[in-house]
Structures are given as structure tokens and as C-alpha cells.
């Protein structure tokens, strides 16, 4: 018995070991495991905690949620400055990305993306019976090559283009004028992934959705809002695209606890802003400390930093034994660690450990032609991460 060809041949989205698994492997207390590898927020917003207490007292879950999620949709629309009819909810941005790929990537069709970028675009293209063509970011700062990207999209008659902005893992922001240029000239659906937009000073491309009719924005509450475990993502689309996507969205794709917590978080956006301000402050502090220690640190518009280390594998191994889990990059980012910014206390622990390592300047970042394997973290036993 065989699954569909595209499933049999699929290289799956990797397993990232949980805290318990890491603690067991390294003989640590679970509380000692600090995740610097998942680009999440270190804490829970006070309004979310309070809502959780209320939910625990009331009890919840015997009934189905409202499948239109009207209040949550309205709050997302307000927060994003779009109409409610432009919003499509996903069980995490991952599901939202799957929805748009399922709907707009034809059988055997091509999606293009500038790599290194978020590894899920390739997996999702392949699991939906298409493929992804990669356009390497070859400049010193890993910025997007618009002409090359549009050229490759044209040659392959691409249905879909993914632009992650700011980009995971390179951390750079593509100016909105560039995004608009792509929207004007690309004939397929342009998906702009703004998972990290709250950490950036550049604005959102959401205004382009209706203007060009072919732009979809991918967002999540997993990063700035600190709700990764609750799985709440959304798309901002032209209304006509939202209508198509809502036809294939599972009616109850957000569970009622997540729905309530998302409503609480979006009703108190000043708490999210305080979280973002604190993390951006820490990001800048860590970047200068590491720079002073001699490490090459790349500019970042996100909640993580790319840090060039002389012995990245050795540093990774030494850190994880102490419970400090960072992400070791590969491919064009070989020799680089991706470090998620956490709270001050945890960041200080990491800085103290990194002070024992040797840095390497940004100048010698090796550039290669292929994006293959770039997002593979060297987790214990060679498992590949996906966050």
C-alpha cells in the first residue's frame, strides 16, 4: 500500500526535541533547559495568564467554537488595519501556509523563494504535489535579488512566491518598495511572511493585498504575542482570495482555549508592545556584547541574532550540555549560530558561556550556490529542526 507519490517522496518537517527530551539526554533538570533555538518569546503576557485563570475556573471545551470566529477575526482585522473579510485563520501560521499552498499551487507547479529562508515553504510545496525552486541570497547582507527572483519565477511559470520579511534565518528586512515592485511584476500569488514584523521597524505590506489582488500576508501570534504553543496564525488577503481559502479551512481549526487567549492578547496589544520593546532592547544589548567579544553579529530586524563562531559545532555541543539550546546553521550559513533573544537573566547565562568561545568576524561568511540543508539544526543525533 503506497501513499500518494508526493507523500512517499517527501522529506518531512524535522522533529525538534522537547525540553524533557533534552533534559533526559544531558542529565539536566527540565527547568535548566533554555530554548534559544525556537524564535519564541520567553514569557506569557499578563493578560493571557489572567484569561487562563478565568478559563480554568469556568471550564471550557464541551461545545464547538463559533466556526466563523467573529470576535477574533474582528480583532485581527483591527490590529492589522484590514477588513474582517480579508482575514483567514490558521492553526498556527504553518496551517495558514498550507492552506494557501493547497489552494494556489497547481499539481506539479512551482513555488519560488529566496534562500536561506523558512524551511517549511519547501516542505509544504512538496507535500501539496508541487516543488520549490530556490534563488540563493548571495550578497554580503543576504538581501533579496529581485531581478533574479522574478527571472526564475518567470522561467518556471511559478504559481507562488514566498518572501519572508523580515527573513528567518538571515534577520534582514526587505524594503516595502521592493515588495511592491515584486507584487506589480509577478503574475502568481505573492505570499509575504510577516511572522517577525513586530520586531522590525519596517512597515507591513498588508496595504498591498487589495491594491494588487495577488498579495497575501502570513502572520502569527507565536512570536511577539508569546503564544506559540496555542497555535494561532492568520492570513491577510484580498477578499476574493480569503473567500477561496475559507472554503477549505477546517471549520473549527482554532480550539476554544486558544481562541480566548488570542482575544485576550489582541485586546491588550500594549502588553505585546512592552514584550517586543524589552526583547528588542535585549537583542541590541546582546549584539553589542558579542561584538565586543569579537563575534561577527549580523544586523537583525527580528527576535533572533545570527552569530559567527570559530567552532560552531563545538560551541553548540558545549552549550547544550548546560541546557542552553541554540540553533547551528548549515549551508551558506555554516559556522553560524542562530540565537533567539530571551529575558535578561537567561541572556546573561548565554553570554557568560559564549565568552569562553572564539568569535569570527562577519567578513568571512562563506557563500555557496545552494540553499540545501541551510535550516538543518544539528540537534542531538542529527535531527533536523524546523522552528
Q: What is the contact surface with ligand PMP in residues (CB under 6 A)?
A: 39, 92-94, 118, 164, 168, 193, 195, 220, 222, 228, 233, 387
Angstrom distance (rounded) from CA 273 to CA 117: 26
Shorter beta-carbon distance to ligand PMP: residue 206 or 360: 206
Shorter beta-carbon distance to ligand PMP: residue 199 or 360: 199
Angstrom distance (rounded) from CA 78 to CA 80: 5
Least Å from the CB of residue 315 to ligand PMP: 22
The residue with its CB nearest to ligand PMP is: 92
DSSP reduced 3-state for 225: coil
CB 362 within 8 A of CB 355: no
CB 119 within 8 A of CB 143: no
Least Å from the CB of residue 124 to ligand PMP: 10
CA distance to 79, 114, 329, per residue, from 165 (Å) = 18, 11, 19
Shorter beta-carbon distance to ligand PMP: residue 220 or 253: 220
Block residue for cell numbers 540545501: 372
Least Å from the CB of residue 206 to ligand PMP: 16
Angstrom distance (rounded) from CA 94 to CA 83: 22
Strands 233-236 and 87-90, how do they pair?
antiparallel
- Our CA dihedral for 133, 123, 86, 152, rounded to 10 degrees, sits at 0
Shorter beta-carbon distance to ligand PMP: residue 200 or 360: 200
Shorter beta-carbon distance to ligand PMP: residue 149 or 228: 228
Shorter beta-carbon distance to ligand PMP: residue 308 or 327: 327
Least Å from the CB of residue 209 to ligand PMP: 18
Angstrom distance (rounded) from CA 124 to CA 132: 9
Shorter beta-carbon distance to ligand PMP: residue 232 or 286: 232
CB 239 within 8 A of CB 83: yes
Taking Cα atoms as reference points, which of 230, 303, 365, 239 lies closest to residue 35? 303
Q: Is 247 exposed, middle or buried (0-12, 13-18, 19+ CB in 10 A)?
A: exposed
Amino acid at each position: 500500500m503506497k501513499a500518494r507519490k508526493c507523500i512517499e517522496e517527501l522529506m518531512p518537517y524535522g522533529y525538534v526535541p522537547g525540553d524533557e527530551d533534552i533534559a533526559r539526554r544531558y542529565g539536566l533538570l527540565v527547568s535548566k533547559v533554555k530554548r534559544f533555538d525556537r524564535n519564541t518569546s520567553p514569557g506569557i503576557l499578563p493578560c493571557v495568564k489572567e484569561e487562563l485563570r478565568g478559563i480554568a475556573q469556568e471550564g471550557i471545551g464541551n461545545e464547538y467554537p463559533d466556526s466563523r470566529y467573529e470576535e477574533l477575526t474582528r480583532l485581527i482585522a483591527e490590529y492589522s488595519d484590514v477588513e474582517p473579510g480579508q482575514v483567514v485563520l490558521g492553526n498556527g501560521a504553518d496551517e495558514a501556509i498550507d492552506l494557501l499552498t493547497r489552494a494556489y499551487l497547481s499539481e506539479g507547479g512551482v513555488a519560488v523563494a529566496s534562500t536561506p529562508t523558512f524551511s517549511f515553504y519547501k516542505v509544504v510545496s512538496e507535500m501539496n504535489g508541487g516543488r520549490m525552486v530556490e534563488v540563493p541570497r548571495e550578497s554580503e547582507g543576504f538581501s533579496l535579488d529581485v531581478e533574479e527572483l522574478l527571472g526564475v519565477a518567470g522561467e518556471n511559470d511559478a504559481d507562488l512566491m514566498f518572501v519572508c520579511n523580515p527573513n528567518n534565518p538571515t534577520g534582514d528586512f526587505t524594503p516595502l518598495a521592493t515588495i511592491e515592485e515584486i507584487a506589480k511584476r509577478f503574475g502568481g500569488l505573492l505570499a509575504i511572511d510577516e511572522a517577525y514584523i513586530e520586531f522590525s521597524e519596517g512597515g507591513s505590506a498588508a496595504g498591498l493585498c487589495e491594491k494588487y489582488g495577488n498579495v497575501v500576508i502570513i502572520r502569527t501570534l507565536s512570536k511577539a504575542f508569546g503564544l506559540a504553543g496555542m497555535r494561532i496564525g492568520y492570513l491577510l488577503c484580498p477578499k476574493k482570495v480569503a473567500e477561496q481559502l475559507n472554503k477549505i479551512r477546517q471549520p473549527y481549526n482554532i480550539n476554544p482555549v486558544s481562541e480566548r487567549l488570542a482575544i485576550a492578547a489582541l485586546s491588550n496589544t500594549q502588553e505585546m508592545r512592552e514584550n517586543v520593546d524589552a526583547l528588542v532592547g535585549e537583542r541590541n544589548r546582546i549584539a553589542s556584547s558579542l561584538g565586543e567579544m569579537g563575534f561577527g553579529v549580523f544586523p537583525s530586524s527580528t527576535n533572533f541574532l545570527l552569530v559567527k563562531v570559530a567552532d560552531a559545532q563545538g560551541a553548540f555541543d558545549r552549550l547544550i550540555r548546560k541546557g542552553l539550546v541554540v540553533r547551528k546553521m548549515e549551508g551558506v550559513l555554516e559556522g553560524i549560530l542562530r540565537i533567539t533573544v530571551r529575558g535578561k537573566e537567561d541572556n546573561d547565562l548565554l553570554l557568560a558561556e559564549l565568552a569562553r568561545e572564539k568569535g569570527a568576524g562577519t567578513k568571512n561568511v562563506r557563500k555557496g550556490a545552494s540553499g540545501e540543508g541551510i535550516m538543518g539544526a544539528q540537534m542531538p543525533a542529527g535531527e533536523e529542526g524546523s522552528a
